Amino acid sequence: MKRWQKIAGMILFALIAIYEFLTWANAYIHLKYVVEPTENDFLVNESYMCVNTLSLGMWLNLGIAVFLFICLWRKGGGR
């Protein structure tokens, strides 16, 4: 890989990680101040379980993408 591709990839992954963290935090804030005041225990529990599952999927997806980027980095992109 060329140097600019490596730098662009690292910047892109940093931006994706920041975006995922902000999305995760926004979902929890929404649950805390919009869903919890309804006092519907079933809705609250299901909402938290859904957000936990989706956040795990987001972080796992980012981890796999970083792993594949590192593999491509080590390979060098040459044929």
pTM equals 0.73
Looking at residue 19, its amino acid is Y
Total number of domains in the chain: 1
Distance in angstroms (rounded) separating the CA atoms of residues 49 and 33: 16
Distance in angstroms (rounded) separating the CA atoms of residues 76 and 31: 44
State what percent of residues in the chain have pLDDT above 70: 96
Distance in angstroms (rounded) separating the CA atoms of residues 53 and 4: 35
The mean per-residue pLDDT over the stretch 5-21 comes to 88
The whole domain housing 26 covers: 3-75
- Quickly count helices (H) and strands (E) in the chain: 2, 0
pLDDT, tens digit (0-9, with 9 covering 90-100), for 25-62: 999 899 889 888 888 889 889 988 988 898 898 889 88
